[in-house]
Amino acid sequence: MKLKLAIAGLMIAIAPTLAHAEGDAVKGKKVFKKCKACHVADKEKNKVGPHLVGLFGRAAGSVEGYKYSKAMKAKAAEIGNWDEEHVMAYIANPKKYLGGKSKMTFKLKKEQQRKDVVAYLKSLAK
């Protein structure tokens, strides 16, 4: 009986981690199709948005020759380099994240898709 309770307790403890699975780069590649209209991730080429080569660890708002919005420049000065946490928050809702007018009008609402696309972008850097 005690053991059963212990197992039940363990399941409850593990369940939330299972629900929030880690990002999957293979799925993320598919999710990235949504970004492709505006971003290139494997070449240093700007489209509507700046290229995303080496995004993680790169200074926010720093692609040469790309004209960022004022809101992005202000936020970039505040956050410094992009990391997973900031990218996740940004792509969920750029306008809200920047607290001003973003040039990126796209929102990726599903958390799992955000994790997957982040995993994909990270996999490109290897």
By CB under 6 A, name the binding residues for ligand HEC: 34-35, 37-39, 48-50, 52, 55, 60-61, 63, 68-69, 71-72, 87, 90-91, 102-106, 108, 117
| One-letter amino acid of 64 | E
Q: In terms of CB distance, is 20 or 110 closer to ligand HEC?
A: 110
CA dist 63 and 71 (Å) reads 15
- Least distance (Å) from ligand HEC to the CB of residue 77? 12
The pair of structure tokens assigned to 70 is 């004022």
Q: In terms of CB distance, is 23 or 102 closer to ligand HEC?
A: 102
The pair of structure tokens assigned to 63 is 């692609």
CA dist 31 and 48 (Å) reads 18
- Least distance (Å) from ligand HEC to the CB of residue 2? 48
